Every structure is written in C-alpha cells, then in structure tokens.
Structure 1
Amino acid sequence: MQSSFTIGIEEEYLLVDRDSLALAAAPDALMQACREELQEQVSPEFLQCQIEVGTKVCETVAEARDDLSRLRSCISRHAKQHNLAPIAVSCHPFSDWKNQDFTEKDRYDALQREMEAVARRMLICGMHVHVGVEEKRLRMDLMPQLSYFLPHLLALSTSSPYWKGDDTGLASYRLSVFDNLPRTGLPPRFASWGEYERTTGTLIDLGLIEDTTKIWWDLRPSDRYPTLEARICDVQPRLADSIALAGLTQALVRMLMRLRDRNLTWREYDRFLISENRWRAQRYGVTEGLIDFGERRIRPFAELMDELIALLAEDAEALGTLDEIVRLRDLATEGTSAQRQRAVHDAAPDGTGGAAVVRHLIEEFHADL
C-alpha cells in the first residue's frame, strides 16, 4: 500500500436559541471560549449562526470518533452558557437566510462580492472527510474511481429536507443550494496531476481564484493536506453516523488502492450517468434506489448497501471499521436523518412541526457524546 489512509473530519454546525429554536448568531465570547479550548480546530463560518470544527489528523476512525466527540462536546458546553445549542444538520427546518448576519472576514467579504445573491443564501452545512493519499498522481488516479460512490455517500447522509419552513420534497436540499455556486458538482477527469495543475492554474493565473480551496467539487485533492477530500455529504445530527460515513469513505479509498496493487481498477463511468445517481440520492436519499450501470437496472439501496459491505469487508477488517460500516445498513433500511425529521414533523401538532424537528435535532446531537 502506498497510502497512509489517515483520516480527518470537518463538520459545520448551526446555532439555535434554546427558547425560540430559531437560528442565532454566535457571540464573540462564545467563539473566544471555543478557540481558547480548541485552538485551530474551531473557526467561524460564512454566517454568524454557523461554526466549523475539524479533527486532528487521525490514524484510525476510533481516534477520529474521540476527537470529534470532544469537539462537539466543547461547542455544546460553551453554547449552553449563552442559551444556545448546536445542531448538526445541513438546513435549518424553518429559519430564513435573509435574516442572518454575515461573518466579517476578508475571505467571506470577497465571496459575497463575487457571488452576490448566490452566496448570501448559503445557509447550509456540510461534512468533509479527508483520507490520506500522499502521492499526488495516486490522488488523480483514484479520484474518478471514487466518484462512482459519491451518490452512495450522499444518499446515506441526507439530512436537509426542509428550507424556510417548507418540505422541499428532496432528501438533500443543501445540494440544490450549493450547486448554484460555480466549480461545484462531480469532479472532472484528469489524466495526470500535471493536467490538474495546468487546468486549475489557469483560473489562479488569471486572478479568478486565489487557490484551489475555491474549487468546491464533491471530491477534490485537498489544497492544504496530502489527502483526497470527499465533500458530498450532508452533515450528520448523530455522531455515530458521522463516524460510520467517515469509515466508509476511508474503506472505499483503501479498496481502490487494493485493486490498484493487483493491477485492477474500478470501472469508470461517464459523469452523465453518475450525475443521474447523484440526483436520485439528492431527491430520494435511500428510499428509491440507485442505478446499477453494470446490470442496467435500478436496485434497492439496502441491496446495494449489503453488496458494498461485502465488497469492503477485507478493507474494513484491516482498518478496524467493520462495525461502523455495518451500522450503515440501519440507515439504508430504517432511513436517514431526512426521514427521521419528516416523521417528527408529521407527528407534531399543526403549526409546531418545525420546532419539534429542531428539538429532535438538539437531542440527536447530544445523544452519543
């Protein structure tokens, strides 16, 4: 193996008022207290109601779980002192982006000027998983193969059915908002690292972007770390689901490297076809299945998940993550956060569904800390 398969997780949270359950801006004192405890592992986000954390570089998923639990606990503890609570969800069930304040930061000011209304409505949160792949050429080799599985990761992670109080009918409305930005979606196919640098370098040389952090594909080589960074997932209300999805991402990378070491590759399909599965995951989550391009039929997601667990068993055993990956079978059969939110909403008295969903999300955030 020519990769370390180290892992890192970045998550974005929303802050809500414990009484109104609406979004609330993070006070300076809250951010300062979190920074004093977490140092560079916490930062403000584009909107003042958002906060971002990132684990250290972890050797194992178990190590990442401990670090992410520590990060979530810290944010919760300090937020409570201001009558706030964090929720790990990709869209707030009822708050409106027009009522939110922006974080004053050069990078975010530039984003507003460049993107205008497209940036101003970015009231969304995501989860990014980094997997260590030290060789640049290997990152380019693995990226189009790993892209096949991005719809699977999205389907399992869907947590954003609501937008400004309305049920959008989608399992991940976050992606609809995010895709309005340029340089998003599935990554292009590059023949080499050199081609990738030449292509992205064109925008850098023209002054259109400062660096490749302004390229927001669903999967990209990280600008800061020797990793492949999967960015497709909605953020997870429950810590255990975050860890399971991170473990799945890590095992997929290892599986592709294992094939490569045997002079094999995962078949690459056209972005047009993978985009169709991406849309199905965005629209339905795990409820309607994805296209099996080899068999040329739509297969139930639970069936695909069982197949994926079998495919990755060797890698999960080697990484010590089989239990985490098997946990995802429950998401495939019982439903993701999007379905749980809808169930809570539908069970609430008329006019109280949004508040009930937020209370549910607060409970899930704290359930396994």
Structure 2
Amino acid sequence: MDPKILERLRLGLSDDERRLVIRSATGGEEVTEYSFGIEEEYFLVDAKTLDVAIRTPDDLFDAANWSTGGQAMREMLQAQLEVATNVHVDVGDAREELKFLRREVASVAGQYGLTILACSTHPTALWRNSQPTPKPRYAEMMEDLRIVGQRNMLCGMHVHVQLPDPDRRFAVMRAMIPYIPVFIALSASSPFWNSRETGLKGYRLAAYDELPRTGLPELFTSKKQYDRYVAALTKSGVMPDESHVWWAMRPSLRHPTLELRAPDVCTAVDDAVAIASLYRALARHLYLNPELADAVGNVERAIAVENKWRAQRYGTDCLFVTEDGPVTGQEILNRTIADVAEHAEALGCLAEVERCRTIMQFGSSADYQLQAYRESGGQLAAVTQWIAAATVSRAEPPQSQPSVEPVR
C-alpha cells in the first residue's frame, strides 16, 4: 500500500505489522469542536451481474477491516457493509479517506467475486431473500423486529459532528428538525425497490420508518429529558440501550456528537462530502445560537414531518411547505447557505457547501438513476451499472441531464 496514502490518512502498521491502525485514534491527538466523521453503508453485489449478495463470508469482512485500519464492518444483513471515517477537521482529508475506504473495500470484495454499490435501495434486490448477519446483537434485533427487520435491505449515510456541551447539543437537535428534509432531498438515492420504480426519489425512509423509534426527533429540550425517555424504554425491556433509538438525528451513545442519520447514502463521494459539510456548518451556526431552538415547537415539527415526506417523494424537485406558502428546494437551500456561509468559511468547507446548490439544481443520485433507466428503455441493469461505476470513480452521468419532474 502506498505509504503516502497511509500518512495522509493517519494510518500505520501495528507493532506486529499484521494490521493497519488509525494513528490519530491512539496518538492522543486532541479532537476539536465541530470535528466530524462520516459513516456509509454499501450493498455487496456480484461483480459481474451486480445482483445483491445474499450470503457473504466472514473472511471478506476480516480482510476489509484489516485493509482499512479497522474501519469496515458488517451491518444487520449479510448484503450490507459499513465503513466509518476517522475523525476529521479538514474536509479535504475526509474526502480522500472516503475515497480510500470505497476503493479498499471494493478491492477486497473483488477477491471474493463481489463489488460495492453506494445506493440506499438496490434496484433489483428482493428483501424476502435477505439473510441476517450471524451476530448475537443482530439475532436479538431480528427476533424483535421480525419481518420489519428482514425488509431492512437499505443503506444510509450518517454524519457525526462534535458538539461538546450536552444540553446545547439537544438545542441543536431541536433547531435542526426543520432542515432534515433538505438533507433527505439532497441525498436521495433510492427510487427503486424490488425491481420496481417506486415513484419516490427516496424510498429508503418509507421502508426504514417501519422500524420503531424512527422518524424525526422528539422535541426534547435537555439531556435530562432524553435520559428519562431512554431510561423508561430500557427499564421496560424495550431496548438494551440508546443505540436502538433510530431517529433521523440523535445524540451519539459513545461520542460527544450529534449524528445525522436521515440521508440516503450518496453514490458520488463529492455529494456525500457536500452534504456532510452543510450539516457541519449548520450545526456550528445552531450551536453558537442556541436561542434558535426556541422557535421550533409542535407546529414547526409537524410541518417538518410533511416536508420529510415531500423530500422523499420528490427529492430535489420538491416544493417545501412553509407558513407563507410553498417554497422551492433551491430557495430553501439558498436561505440556509446564506445563514451558514460564515461558518462554512470558518470551517474551511465553503466550496463543499456551495456544491449543494449544484445537487439541488441538477439532481441527486436518484435523478441520474431514473435517467439511466429511461434512456435504456427501462433496463434496471443500466441503473446498477451506472451506480457501480459512480461508486468508486467519477462516472459520467447519463447522456442528458435529469428531467425536472413537475411538483404537486
């Protein structure tokens, strides 16, 4: 492996030279406010047919874990693989690491006749064929969730931003609720399900929200309130710990971070970094202005619930509900960027935040998937081929720009 890549990503060999390690995780480096990390989930698919892999060997994950310095792991279903970046302050480093992780896990998967797809629903996968990962945690979850867990043939993206003060973290979560639909629209990559065009740009959350403790966060105002909620559920035997709270945004169990969980996984790395940067800048804005949380009450949350659905349905073509009437996604995004521009500049990610305008204008992965589908005369194979190419490289988009769907 190229030593320069290892140096840039703060990876090195363990003392016994048998595995890669993350040096920044063991070297005592201080983690600063607003540092961030990205988690992505991918489908493992046959390298030739691009059909989803139903059963996957442990050796593959052991090898992927080694080659990424411990940053690749199994998920609930055997068809899924998750990666997690190191903690970053520099957005350029995060981008390079995400590219590195995709290349590494794709390379390892290739040794087993597989590759990866970065999309939130596999266009042709049949959830009835899914197999759970043979681990006690997942076995317990499947025992509880039953068919709902089996239907979780879904992949997402999670972004963590460090916000050290616990109560202000909850103020940010509350203030962030109206913005969650914007992240859903920008990231949409799940227009197909069980070999059918769903009519939604982001079908993933329609299926995911069958699980308990999903959807938008509740209007908690402090960590104390949240802890009471978690304690009630754990003492009642509903869940073992707060990691089973699967809201679109939640405080992390293990880290002083606020975790955005709503986005679909982005097919393009640059889109993932852009959305993560927008979230990071917005988190800083809301953290430094905690009084903004006071403006989010029951009405604002109810409107956000409606906008969440509209973002799932229409993606970047969405008209958002406001008390003053409908507003385009582009206008909502423009207002948001105006609010956070100084914070993005302070964090060194203004260019990445600006890229969100391009996504909103030309479409997310869902739009390009649908364009490939239409240009091929309705061939889902053309969709999976485009996703496979775009996951690990800068694939060319379909021949024409995605058409803009009329919104209603």
Q: Shorter-chain TM-score: what band?
A: over 0.9
| 2:82 partner amino acid | E
Q: Is 1:189 aligned to residue 189 of structure 2?
A: no
Distance 1:283 1:349 in 2: 23
When residues 35 and 339 of structure 1 are mapped into structure 2, their CA distance, relative to the original with a 3 A threshold, is same
Trace 1:86-165 onto structure 2 (pairs within 5 A).
86-165=116-195
Residue deviations 1:168-193, cap 9 Å, x none?
11111100111000111111111321
Q: Is 1:18 aligned to residue 47 of structure 2?
A: yes
Q: Helix, strand or coil for the counterpart of 1:333?
A: helix
1:209 maps to which residue? Answer: 239
Distance 1:277 1:349 in 2: 32
| 1:72 partner amino acid | R
1:68 to 72, 95, 98: 98
CA displacement at 1:264 relative to structure 2: 5.4
TM-score (norm 2): 0.86
1:354 to 380, 387, 392: 380
Structure 1 vs Structure 2 CA RMSD: 1.5
Distance 2:170 2:292 in 1: 16
Q: Helix, strand or coil for the counterpart of 2:43?
A: strand
Which segment drifts farther, 316-325 or 283-292? 283-292
Q: Helix, strand or coil for the counterpart of 2:120?
A: coil
1:6 maps to which residue? Answer: 35
Distance 1:150 1:50 in 2: 25
CA displacement at 1:292 relative to structure 2: 2.8
Distance 1:69 1:78 in 2: 14
Q: Helix, strand or coil for the counterpart of 1:130?
A: strand
Q: Quick check: 2:51–2:124 contact (8 Å CA) kept in 1?
A: yes
2:296 maps to which residue? Answer: 268
Q: Helix, strand or coil for the counterpart of 1:175?
A: helix
Q: Quick check: 1:154–1:285 contact (8 Å CA) kept in 2?
A: yes
| 1:53 partner amino acid | V
- Moved beyond 4 Å, runs of 4+: 263-266
2:266 to 236, 241, 252: 236
1:326 to 339, 350, 354: 354
| 2:283 partner amino acid | V
Q: Helix, strand or coil for the counterpart of 2:128?
A: helix
Q: Quick check: 1:26–1:50 contact (8 Å CA) kept in 2?
A: no
Structure 2 unaligned blocks of 5 or more: 1-31, 396-408
1:79 maps to which residue? Answer: 109
Q: Helix, strand or coil for the counterpart of 2:219?
A: coil
Distance 2:308 2:222 in 1: 25
Q: Helix, strand or coil for the counterpart of 2:68?
A: helix
Q: Helix, strand or coil for the counterpart of 2:133?
A: coil
Q: Quick check: 1:7–1:60 contact (8 Å CA) kept in 2?
A: no
Residue deviations 1:57-96, cap 9 Å, x none?
1123222212212211110111122221101100000110
Q: Quick check: 1:259–1:266 contact (8 Å CA) kept in 2?
A: no
Distance 2:216 2:392 in 1: 33
1:337 to 361, 365, 373: 365
Q: Quick check: 1:89–1:160 contact (8 Å CA) kept in 2?
A: yes
Identity of aligned residues (%): 38
| 1:17 partner amino acid | D
Aligned pair count?
A: 361
| 1:359 partner amino acid | Q
1:301 maps to which residue? Answer: 329
| 2:381 partner amino acid | A
CA displacement at 1:19 relative to structure 2: 1.8
Residue deviations 1:221-246, cap 9 Å, x none?
00111000010000001101000010
Distance 1:137 1:308 in 2: 23
CA displacement at 1:26 relative to structure 2: 2.9
Structure 1 unaligned blocks of 5 or more: none
Distance 2:78 2:391 in 1: 20
| 1:366 partner amino acid | V
Q: Is 1:364 aligned to residue 394 of structure 2?
A: no
Distance 2:293 2:226 in 1: 20
TM-score (norm 1): 0.94
